């Protein structure tokens, strides 16, 4: 006698970005009946609109910038130029090559049913998508987040850019005001400045990159200002925005005085808001504008509904969302429950110099009342800084009183690669002495890691 299923699926995943994709493929590989629903383009934000296209453009921009300043090495490259339509074509090629953007067939080839449309909960076990009703034993919510729009008078009366829409611009604007000096704002500031845009960054905090230790933001403010002509307006509040002919006028308040700036474009990069408007109340799932709360197993207050990725309202990255997706799939179908381990999760900013952090920051330690020691190794003390003529950066390591590494920051070329040595050390509770005693190749940037670790040994 054929087995009768109570529901259409064992698992319905809402969202095909990193928070949903891993769980869907793991469940399908385990023989489960799986459906995945995507409201936009399969693959989600990262491969289509953010990580891949942004980093492809940043790679080209930094290559151009390095070559253009090659005269200090004896290279005649000052007349170098660029073709922005060709740069955009390169960006699209990078997205295509990655293969995770618009990858609906990838899921279908694994026996996963795919649906394009807005999912809406009708009950704890049933959703609708394009007027079709689907039911499931379990759900994973991985709807991600959108760029949030701050409440600034006049902003609703002008056409503004977001980190997503600026990538579709036909050419770089002549002048740009970026509201928000976080990770994405800094990346776009450097990208546009290299291609000739006069860039201003308005940030409420006392330094750029306010979620990182102050040394990082202060160094990047100096680098962007001295090398790229970017004007950082820290400690400021945007009072209003208004149309001014073909341009926009941005009025800021700083130090008790108001000042106005006329720019061609305004870009909003103040943060992201979780997508939670799809009938969660009908399923009994608790949520707020800040995201969906979950327990240590990524389970919502409704036991068969889980959530992962940016919809949780945390400072998620693609790699942490992927980890959460894997954890959620394990907890849905396995009896042995696991918890996501964020201890060694890295944060990367693809500027030049690159920025990479892992573990606890100095502020985190102070907030938790942890005793710690810190050491900083400036790049200019290692030989590689001389052969590459690059001195703007450092490695900072934070350790507890026993020398066990708690956190680290790298501001250097190839920071995204250098950081993983420190990530491994943090994951396995290694001491600064153990890292310092590990041979580091001469003329590698990683020698700065050894020097910083040695100061704590």
- Alpha-carbon distances, residue 78 vs 13, 69, 84, 199, 368 (angstroms): 52, 7, 18, 22, 51
Give the chain's mean pLDDT.
95
Nearest CA to 280 among 262, 265, 294, 266? 294
Whether the pLDDT of residue 1 is over 60: the answer is: no
Coil/strand/helix, residue 193: helix
CA distance 261 to 253: 11
CA distance 348 to 352: 12
* Residue 162 pLDDT: 96
- Alpha-carbon distances, residue 104 vs 38, 129, 262, 309, 321 (angstroms): 9, 16, 43, 20, 19
Enclosing H/E stretch for 35: strand 34-38
Architecture of domain 346-455: 2-Layer Sandwich (3.30)
Higher pLDDT, 295 or 79: 295
Q: Please state the pTM of the whole predicted model.
A: 0.94
* Residue 4 pLDDT: 59
Whether the pLDDT of residue 379 is over 70: the answer is: yes
Nearest CA to 294 among 264, 254, 337? 337
* Residue 55 pLDDT: 97
Whether the pLDDT of residue 434 is over 70: the answer is: yes
Answer positive or negative: Cα dihedral of 116, 121, 125, 126: negative
Question: Strands 126-129 and 119-123: what pairing?
Answer: antiparallel
Residue 100 banded pLDDT, cuts 50, 70, 90: confident
* Residue 78 pLDDT: 76
Domains in the chain: boundaries: 9-44+101-146+273-333, 51-93, 155-270, 346-455
| Orientation angle between helical segments 415-427 and 447-455, nearest 10 degrees | 40
Torsion of CA 420, 422, 424, 427, to 10 degrees: -130
Q: What is the mean pLDDT of residues 276-285?
A: 97
User: 392 — alpha (psi -120 to 50), left (phi > 0) or beta?
Assistant: beta
CATH superfamily of this structure's domain 9-44+101-146+273-333 = FAD/NAD(P)-binding domain (3.50.50.60)
The pLDDT tens digits for 329-364 are 999 999 899 999 999 999 999 999 999 999 999 999
Q: What is the mean pLDDT of residues 131-151?
A: 96
Whether the pLDDT of residue 14 is over 50: the answer is: yes
* Residue 91 pLDDT: 96
* Residue 385 pLDDT: 97
CA distance 15 to 309: 10
Residue 99 banded pLDDT, cuts 50, 70, 90: confident
Residue 3 banded pLDDT, cuts 50, 70, 90: low
Q: What is the mean pLDDT of residues 235-251?
A: 97
- Alpha-carbon distances, residue 137 vs 28, 249, 303, 397 (angstroms): 14, 53, 11, 46
Whether the pLDDT of residue 212 is over 70: the answer is: yes
* Residue 79 pLDDT: 84
Whether the pLDDT of residue 106 is over 60: the answer is: yes
DSSP assignment of 52-75: HHHHHHHHHHHHHHHHHTGGGGT-
* Runs of H (alpha helix) within 235-382: 280-283, 318-333, 362-367
CB 9 within 8 A of CB 86: no
Instruction: Provide the 10 A C-beta neighbour count for residue 229.
Output: 12
Whether the pLDDT of residue 435 is over 90: the answer is: yes
CB 203 within 8 A of CB 233: yes
C-alpha distance across the termini of the chain, in Å: 69
* Residue 223 pLDDT: 97
Topology agreement, domain 9-44+101-146+273-333 and domain 155-270: yes
CA distance 340 to 176: 39
Residues, the chain, total?
457
Instruction: Please name the fold of domain 155-270.
Output: FAD/NAD(P)-binding domain (3.50.50)
Torsion of CA 43, 48, 52, 53, to 10 degrees: 180
Cβ neighbours for 46, distance < 8 A, ≥ 6 positions apart: 17, 18, 52, 100, 318
DSSP assignment of 210-248: TTS-HHHHHHHHHHHHHHH--EEE-SEEEEEEEEETTEE
Q: What is the mean pLDDT of residues 396-420?
A: 98
* Residue 77 pLDDT: 84
């Amino acid at each position: 006698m054929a087995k009768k299923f109570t529901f259409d699926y064992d698992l319905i995943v809402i969202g095909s970005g990193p928070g949903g994709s891993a769980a869907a493929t793991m469940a399908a590989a385990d023989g489960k009946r799986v459906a995945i629903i995507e409201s936009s383009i399969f693959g989600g934000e990262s491969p289509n609109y953010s990580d891949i296209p942004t980093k492809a453009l940043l790679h080209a921009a930094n290559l151009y910038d390095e070559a253009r300043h090659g005269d200090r090495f004896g290279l005649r490259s000052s007349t170098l130029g660029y073709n922005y339509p060709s740069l955009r074509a390169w960006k699209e090629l990078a997205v295509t090559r990655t293969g995770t953007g618009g990858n609906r067939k990838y899921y279908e080839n694994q026996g996963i049913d795919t649906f394009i449309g807005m999912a809406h909960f009708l009950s704890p076990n049933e959703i609708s998508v394009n007027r079709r009703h689907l039911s499931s034993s379990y759900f994973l919510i991985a709807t991600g987040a959108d760029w949030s729009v701050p409440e600034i008078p006049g902003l609703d009366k002008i056409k503004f850019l977001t980190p997503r829409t600026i990538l579709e611009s036909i050419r770089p604007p002549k002048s740009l005001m970026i509201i928000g000096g976080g990770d994405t704002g800094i990346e776009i500031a450097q990208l546009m400045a290299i291609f000739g845009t006069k860039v201003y960054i308005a940030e409420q905090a006392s330094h750029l990159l306010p979620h990182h230790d102050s040394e990082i933001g202060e160094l990047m403010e100096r680098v962007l200002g001295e090398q790229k002509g970017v004007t950082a307006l820290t400690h400021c509040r945007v009072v209003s925005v208004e149309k001014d002919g073909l341009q926009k006028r941005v009025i800021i308040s700083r130090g008790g005085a108001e000042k106005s700036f006329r720019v061609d474009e305004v870009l909003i990069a103040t943060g992201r808001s979780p997508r939670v408007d799809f009938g969660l109340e009908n399923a009994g799932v608790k949520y707020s504008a800040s995201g969906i709360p979950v327990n240590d197993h990524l389970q919502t207050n409704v036991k068969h509904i889980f959530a992962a990725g940016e919809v949780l309202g945390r400072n998620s990255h693609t790699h942490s969302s992927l980890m959460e997706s894997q954890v959620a799939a394990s907890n849905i179908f396995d009896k042995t429950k696991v918890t996501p381990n964020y201890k060694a999760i890295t944060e990367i900013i693809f500027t030049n110099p690159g920025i990479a952090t892992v573990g606890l920051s100095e502020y985190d330690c102070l907030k938790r009342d942890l005793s710690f020691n810190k050491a900083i190794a400036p790049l200019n003390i290692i030989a590689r800084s001389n052969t590459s003529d690059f001195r703007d950066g450092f490695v900072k390591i934070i350790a507890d009183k026993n020398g066990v590494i708690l956190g680290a920051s790298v501001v250097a070329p190839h920071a995204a690669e250098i950081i993983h040595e420190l990530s491994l050390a943090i994951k396995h509770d290694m001491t600064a002495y153990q890292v310092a005693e590990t041979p580091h190749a001469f003329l590698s940037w990683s020698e700065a890691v050894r020097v910083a670790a040695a100061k704590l040994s």
